[in-house]
Amino acid sequence: MQRSENRLFFPQSTLDDWIVAGSVEFEDGELVILPEGPRFKLTEAVRVLQEVSGIGDVHELSGRAKDRAELEGLGAELVESSMLLGDTAYDTVPGWFGFPVGSGVGAMADSQKRKGEAELETDEELLLKFLAKGL
């Protein structure tokens, strides 16, 4: 998968809620936001909340979201919402990076125009609109 700077972090708990609500589906390894929303190619990721071992954030990871494979390549051990990297422990949020795929923006914008709404220009704007509907 080609990496792009345009990516969103989806916490696993949020995806679980969306799945239960029927607001998303998975198709060919991609997350599809329903009914006609954007598509995202997913890769496992972790949001690092804070260092909790008391020795300081020597790896400068607090407040960042990172690819899980990248962290494991550095020697990180990840279990549920915890990560240990060397002697440093962190609280984390497991989840996924979503990389925009295809012409989801164009299809959603065309749909919005037909409904008399303003054209949306980015996947991020579409996602914010979807989230504002109450999930």
Predicted confidence at residue 130, as pLDDT, reads 64
Predicted confidence at residue 29, as pLDDT, reads 83
Structure tokens belonging to residue 25:
């589906």
Predicted confidence at residue 133, as pLDDT, reads 63
* 1 pLDDT above the threshold of 60: no
Say which range, 17-26, 72-81, 102-111, has the weakest mean pLDDT: 102-111
Residues 53-68, buried b or exposed e (16+ Cβ, 10 A)? eeeebebebeeebbeb
Find out whether 42 and 31 touch, Cβ atoms under 8 Å.
yes
Closest CA to 6 of 126, 96, 127, 100: 100
Query: pLDDT tens digit string along 43-64?
Result: 999 999 999 999 999 999 999 9
Query: pLDDT tens digit string along 78-124?
Result: 999 999 999 999 999 999 999 999 754 444 444 454 444 555 456 56
Predicted confidence at residue 114, as pLDDT, reads 41
Structure tokens belonging to residue 104:
């989801």
Predicted confidence at residue 131, as pLDDT, reads 66
Question: Which uninterrupted H or E stretch holds 33?
Answer: strand 30-33
Distances in Å between the Cα of 93 and the Cα atoms of 5, 48, 81, 117, 133 are 20, 7, 5, 35, 24
